Every structure is written in structure tokens, then in C-alpha cells.
Amino acid sequence: MTGAAATGAAISTRAVTRDFKAGQQTITVLHGIDLEVKAGELTYLVGESGSGKTTLISIMCGILWPTLGEVEVFGTDIYNLTDTQLVEFRLNNIGFIFQQYNLIPSIDAASNAAVPLIAQGMDRLEARQRAVAMMEKLAIGDQVDKLPNQLSGGQQQRVAIARALVHEPRLVVCDEPTAALDARSGRKVMDLLREVAVAEDRACIIVTHDNRIFDLADRILVLEDGRITHDGTSMPEDH
């Protein structure tokens, strides 16, 4: 049994370092991050701009190679996989909620939500039916036929959540889910995420610097200059 599986962790990072080249210079964005994220928890990754949280989340979900270190997601050393295996792993195990939603503007909401299932090879109509069911769960069952530009920001956010969950991934990754929403809508989205995304066998990581929703986290990891400086159930006093 390997790292994450052995410890019961959903995600396990070992000495993860990431460098970026900037001209002649090499900038180290992450400095040997050791981290374990448990399933069944709503985990926040918090930090200022440039702290490395986007880089860390990208590495944790298998879309950016670390310069050094290992990453295991539900027991799979994802950077030991071939490119094709890694893409397939992401498709089957990870759900993404992007800050800008990145919905396809010319297909309706249900089809947008069905994209991961279609990518898995499921029949389009069957995939759409499952997406509609997920959207009904998210209380936007009456918006299935609308194009993204006919939906409000909150509704688009829910479609993005439906897309992230429709294929029942074991890891859900959210990038600034409340950045574009007012306080009330932001809390609603977080309540919704807790209700639908957090499960015993599923990990949910949220990258945010929205202090309005810090109280909703089960665990908060603070990242400063590429290092984890705080790991607790609430934000440290000095933040």
C-alpha cells in the first residue's frame, strides 16, 4: 500500500517543489510541500496572490508537473502515470470548478454539465439525462435548456458545479468559487458545495482568499511564499 492509501489520505504530497524559469532566473514557487488532504473534509487553500496556491492546486490535480517530489491521489502516484493515463485519471477521478466557469457558450446548460460524461464516451443523450438529474439536485432543473449567456452568474456557477460532479469524481477542486459573487450568494454556493461535493469518500479542495467564507471550512491551509505556514480548522489570528 502506498502513501495516501496507507495513511487514509485522499491526497498526499511529498517534498513537492516547483520552479519556473523567468529569463536567466529560476524562481522557486513551491518549497518542498508535504501535505495530506483527507476525504470527507472541506479543505481551503488560502494565500495572497503569488503565494503559490494555484501552482499547488494544479500539481495536486495532475495538470502541472512538479519539479521535484511526489503526489498521490487516492493511492495513485499520478506523476508516474503516462500522459494518456494521467489524462484518463483526471477524467475519471477529478471534478473541476473554474473561477471563470469556462462553460461552452454555444451549448445549453445541461450539455455543458454533461461534458465529462461525453468525454468518457457515454452516449450524448444519456449523459445529458444524468446532467439534468444533477442540475435538478442543484436546484437549476428549470435552466437545463438555456445557453450560458442566458443564465445569471450564480446559475452559471451551479452549472459548473454540476459539470464537476456529474461523473462522481473522488476529488473536487474549486478555484475561487465565490470570487465573482456577493456575500450572500457566495455563502449559498459554499453551503451547496458542502452538501453535494463533500462526502465520505470524496475530497474537496477550495482555493480562495475570500475571508467571508473562512468559517465554513473544515480545514484551512495557509500558503505564504511557497510554504505552508498554517494548518488548522480556522484562520490564524494574524490574518
Q: Give the three cell numbers for residue 79.
A: 506523476
CA dist., res. 196 & res. 179, Å (int): 20
**26-55 mask for other proteins (x: CB under 8 A)?**
----------------------------x-
> Burial code of 122-158, b = ≥16 C-beta within 10 A, e = fewer?
beeeebbebbbebbebbebeebbebebeebeebbbbb
The answer to whether residue 64 forms part of the interface with other proteins (CB under 8 A) is yes
As a whole number of angstroms, the distance between CA 152 and CA 168 comes to 25
| 122 in contact with other proteins (CB under 8 A) | no
Helices 183-197, 153-165: crossing angle, 10 deg rounding = 10
Sign (positive or negative) of CA dihedral 198, 201, 206, 210: positive
Q: Judged by CB under 8 A, does residue 107 bind other proteins?
A: yes
Cα–Cα distance, 98 to 103 (Å, whole number):
9
Closer to other proteins by Cβ: residue 124 or 184 = 124
- In 103-202 the beta strands, taken as DSSP E runs, fall at 171-175
Q: Residue 104 or residue 183: which is nearer to other proteins going by CB?
A: 104
Q: Which of 2, 26, 80, 106 binds other proteins (CB under 8 A)?
A: 106
Of these, 5, 81, 87, 199, which contacts other proteins (CB under 8 A)?
87
Name which position in 57, 172, 192, 196 contacts other proteins (CB under 8 A). 57
- Distance CA(167)–CA(120), nearest Å, equals 9
Q: Which amino acid type is present at position 109?
A: A
For other proteins, the closer of residues 10 and 57 by Cβ is 57
Q: What is the distance in angstroms between the CA of the first residue and the CA of the last residue of the chain? A: 38
Q: Does the protein bind other proteins through residue 119 (CB under 8 A)? A: yes
- Shortest distance, position 219 Cβ to other proteins, whole Å: 20
Q: Which of 84, 200, 233, 237 binds other proteins (CB under 8 A)?
A: 84
What is the nearest approach in angstroms of other proteins to the Cβ of residue 98?
A: 5
For other proteins, the binding residue among 76, 111, 156, 208 (CB under 8 A) is: 111
In angstroms, give the least distance from the CB of 64 to other proteins.
4
CB of 68 to other proteins, least distance (A): 17
CA distance 143 to 140: 5
Task: Pick from 104, 139, 179, 183 the residue near other proteins by CB under 8 A.
Answer: 104
Binding positions for other proteins, rule: CB under 8 A: 54, 57-58, 61, 63-64, 84, 87-92, 94, 96, 98-100, 102-107, 111, 115-116, 118-119, 124, 163, 175, 207
